[in-house]
Amino acid sequence: MKVRDEETGPINHLLTSLTDLPSINVRSCSMQASGSATPSGKRNTLTVIDNRTGKQYEIPIEHETIKSTDLRQIKENADDFGMMTYDPAFMNTAACRSTITFIDGDKGILRYRGYPIEQLAEKCSYLEVAYLLINGELPTKAQLEEWTMNITTHTFVHENIKKFMDGFHYDAHPMGMFVSALAALSTFYPSAKHITEPAERTMTFYRLIGKVPTLAAFAYRHSVGMPYILPDNELSYAGNFLGMMFKVAEPQYHPNPVLERALDVLFILHADHEQNCSTSAMRGVGSSQVDPYSAAAAAAAALYGPLHGGANEAVLRMLDEIGSKEKIPAFIKDVKDGKGRLMGFGHRVYKNYDPRASIIKRLADQVFEVTGRNPKLDIALELERIALQDDYFIKRKLYPNVDFYSGLIYQAMRFPVDMFPVLFAIGRMSGWLAQWQEMLLDAEQKIARPRQVYLGHDNRDVTMLSQR
């Protein structure tokens, strides 16, 4: 299937051009730069010499990549399958071309659609950023009003959702409830499976961005045995979520403006992060053309893990376990001895301070002025200080990531620890949807289906059970 969208138009690739040509030696196959010359005198191809056969192949380079399928022509024998690349965990494989999010991990840069995260966090609301991610440009005032109105009027969920929420055990993890509720939404909106229709996709954006705070708050209220609070359309996106979480008997919930803004900024910081584990799940599952609710449930499930969105929860549990500043050196020693990880540190892409962590650290001061200082902050600051001076962390370029300080803010705002990954998921929904749509509109994308290097038994015969 190739989906083309009149409204959105073809994807505009803005990727940078090649400057340097790599020189690679892989076992019996050596590669060196050669090929047709560019105006600068450099040649944008790789010449690959297969030392098994002596044959030479010229492979085009585009956007500093070669296409893995171009390697398939490299064969020792005519009936061979052809050369593949082996890249467990996708350490060096681009699975798509994207114009949504740019990260320079060495410099600690994060931009959505070209805008630095620092400016978006300072000047925009989360719904503006969600619009930007999905539509490619910041909205005008009129566009934002319409977008906000459409999302706000899709915050309610079917009454039956309350019934199946009630079916969960009292101590069910809210992320498990949230993942299940997302998948269940597909049964309420069967027309969403018409993913080639722009109007259906747009409706999905309104529904999913609108309903995730409601599902999240319902999961929390169930776990504490409190009645579900319906959305209040008079409140902002973050304010309404706070109301659905914490409203008790007051006729009208008034969020504290500092906390409301802090939560909105946290949603912005979590909105997208290019091809991370959950986004890859959204794209991969979505590539089967399943409905977007099912794909979003898969993405949320991927986010649940402690190495991804579950890390913010793990950080708080770790700080609790450490308990006091005096115990930090022993904890660090255990980490260095391989007895555990310093949660909230390290990142596959950032080899520098995560820019989101810097913003969150500043945001924490504003929040703590309202809520009072989270006593665990001192442990976190001391942990960071010690780790950043320690050779183990310096050598491996391990710095605080987005999850190191976010939990301290969430906790100060009275969110229970097991809600932290759910909060991450609310913000990330807009990014998942933007990436899902980009995948659908990309003529080069097909169902995701990695290859494998088979190293198991060759053909062998089954012996009867009685003879084994």
Residue ranges that bind ligand CMC, judged by CB under 6 A: 276, 307-309, 311, 335, 341-348, 396, 398, 401-403
CB of 321 to ligand CMC, least distance (A): 14
Q: Residue 169 or residue 396: which is nearer to ligand CMC going by CB?
A: 396
Q: Residue 192 or residue 383: which is nearer to ligand CMC going by CB?
A: 383
Task: Say if residues 175 and 425 touch (Cβ distance below 8 Å).
Answer: yes
Q: Residue 197 or residue 390: which is nearer to ligand CMC going by CB?
A: 390
CB of 265 to ligand CMC, least distance (A): 16
End-to-end CA distance of the chain: 47
CB of 56 to ligand CMC, least distance (A): 35
CB of 392 to ligand CMC, least distance (A): 7
Largest CA distance in the chain: 81
Side by side, which strands form the sheet with 109-112? 101-104, 109-112, 115-116
Q: Residue 254 or residue 333: which is nearer to ligand CMC going by CB?
A: 333
CB of 273 to ligand CMC, least distance (A): 6
Q: Residue 174 or residue 344: which is nearer to ligand CMC going by CB?
A: 344
> What does the block give as tokens for 65?
């990549």
Q: Whole-angstrom Cα distance, residue 267 to residue 189?
A: 25
222 belongs to the catalytic site: no
347 belongs to the catalytic site: yes
Q: Whole-angstrom Cα distance, residue 218 to residue 226?
A: 9
Q: Which of 154, 173, 222, 308 is catalytic?
A: 308
Q: Whole-angstrom Cα distance, residue 41 to residue 34?
A: 11
| Best CA proximity match to 435, nearest among 260, 251, 299 | 299
Q: Within 10 A of 9 (CB to CB), how many other CB atoms are there? A: 10
Q: Residue 120 or residue 299: which is nearer to ligand CMC going by CB?
A: 299
**Tokens 């998921």 appear where?**
425
Q: Which of 50, 264, 354, 403 is catalytic?
A: 403
Q: Whole-angstrom Cα distance, residue 150 to residue 340?
A: 45
CB of 381 to ligand CMC, least distance (A): 17
Query: Which residue has its beta carbon closest to ligand CMC?
Result: 346
- Pairing mode of beta strands 29-37, 101-104: unpaired
457 belongs to the catalytic site: no
Q: Would residue 222 be called left, alpha or beta, if left means φ above 0 and alpha means ψ between -120 and 50 degrees?
A: alpha
Question: What single-letter amino acid sits at 120?
Answer: L
CA angle 13, 14, 17 (to 5 degrees): 110
Residue 36, φ and ψ in degrees, nearest 5: -70, 145
Q: Is 137 helix (H, G, I), strand (E, B) or coil?
A: coil
Q: Which of 272, 291, 347, 442 is catalytic?
A: 347
Catalytic residues: 308, 347, 403
